[in-house]
Amino acid sequence: MIVAGLGFSSAATVDSLRAAFERASAGQVVDALATVADKEGHAALADFASATALPVHFIAPADLAEQRTLTCSNRSRATYGTGSVAEASALAAAGAGARLTSPRQISDDRLATCAVAIGGHI
């Protein structure tokens, strides 16, 4: 499974999410989206998921802290215990043995990030 993990501010828009997603997923066929569980119900995320017709996996914050990320945001580290919500979400949702195929990419407005991981069984 190929998963695009998303990290984003409460001010992020569908365009923010789309920009980060397009950068991170270029040349890849994504099967699902993932983000931290406390983002469930965010309007832009719901609209983006609907537009892409991809399911969203919501990851518990404790599961994010277990993932090793390539990049590090001080804000993500302080809030969720991980260097990148996008990278950790993608890795957690892709399953055991997952690896990143694209590290965290940032939208132009800096309100959203996206990273892509592929499951270890593929």
- Mean pLDDT on 55-70: 92
Which CATH number is 2-118 given? 3.30.420.180
For residue 104, what are its two tokens?
A: 């965290």
The residue-averaged pLDDT of 25-52 equals 96
pTM of the model: 0.92
% of residues, the chain, pLDDT over 70: 98
C-alpha to C-alpha distance for 93 and 96, rounded to whole angstroms: 9
pLDDT tens figures, 86-103: 999 999 999 989 999 999
At 56 the pLDDT is: 98
**Sequence-ordered list of residues with C-beta below 8 angstroms from that of 91, at least 6 positions apart, any chain:** 5, 67, 68, 69, 98, 99, 100, 117
What residue spans define the domains of the chain? Answer: 2-118
Confidence grade of residue 51 (pLDDT, cut at 50, 70, 90): very high
Identify the band that residue 39 occupies on the pLDDT scale cut at 50, 70 and 90: very high
Outline where the chain has alpha helix (H): 14-25, 43-52, 61-65, 74-80, 85-94
pLDDT over 70 at 122, yes or no:
no
Question: What 8-state DSSP symbol labels residue 122?
Answer: -
